Amino acid sequence: MENQYLEIAIKATFKAAKEVMSIYRDGSFDVEMKSDNSPLTRADKAAHLIIKKELEKTGIPILSEEGKHLPYEERKHWNKLWIVDPIDGTKEFIKKTGEFTINIAIVENQKPVMGIVYAPALKLIYWGSRAGSYKLSEISNFADFESNLEEKQRLPLQDQKEAFVIAASKSHLTEATKRFIDRKRDNFSKVEVISKGSSLKICMVAEGTVDCYPRFGTTMEWDTAAGHAICRNADAQIVDQNQNPLIYNKIDLRNTEFLCKN
């Protein structure tokens, strides 16, 4: 059944990506500001509707950033659910950096067990399930994905780094993150900092090209669920300040501050 859900989710991802990239190339984003002062574009809305339509076929409830967030009294009975971010990194989407992703995850008993993170502008897809986590490059659609599956790379990759590598947010670099980086510079002779948008930072930890990604600002469950599933199935982790793994479908959908590390 998990393979079936994975295929449905990957197909949904590519369907949404086709519409998202059409809007991305067109450039008419129709940007609105949400109540939390984060941007929303017509690409976010279109991707949400496409993904929702595809995932509804499974009968599993859906928690999407752009959907209606049902009260915890109803959600608490969901032992399994989809968690979706139609576009993670909307600021990077608007800036046209290419560093935005489509994120789909399955969470069971508050733990992310399956996830897909696709960066359509970069043609890069990551996915993870109990069968392991993988990466494929130069993938534009589902036909590409199917025909290139034999080329998939299992995560983590064997990467020989000469420095301790930290991923940092392009749009949310806080003073606490800067202090964290400074402390690592005290402990390691060479520290490299890579700035990336969206869930790509989490995926880079899962693949082993980055040692850690500290996040000391506010994030939501849909920002991390898919990447977290990829990490969990690639021997990486996302933990809070007490070294406990992040959990999902909580009363409060905000994440605590966390460290993603391998």
Known binding positions for substrate: 65, 87-90, 223
Q: For residues 185 and 182, give the distance between their C-alpha atoms in angstroms, rounded to a whole number.
A: 5
Region of residue 127 (left: phi > 0; alpha: psi -120 to 50; beta: else): beta
The residues near 190 (Cβ < 8 Å, ≥ 6 apart) are 162, 163, 164
State phi, psi for 182 to the nearest 5 degrees: -65, -40
- Annotated binding residues, as ranges? 65, 85, 87-90, 223
- Least Cα distance to 8 among 56, 61, 43 occurs for 56
- Annotated binding residues for Mg(2+), as ranges? 65, 85, 87-88, 223
DSSP letter at 233 equals T
State phi, psi for 140 to the nearest 5 degrees: -105, -20
Max CA separation in the chain (angstroms): 52
Q: Taking the CB of residue 87, how many other CB atoms lie within 10 A of it?
A: 30
Cβ atoms 197, 91 nearer than 8 A: yes
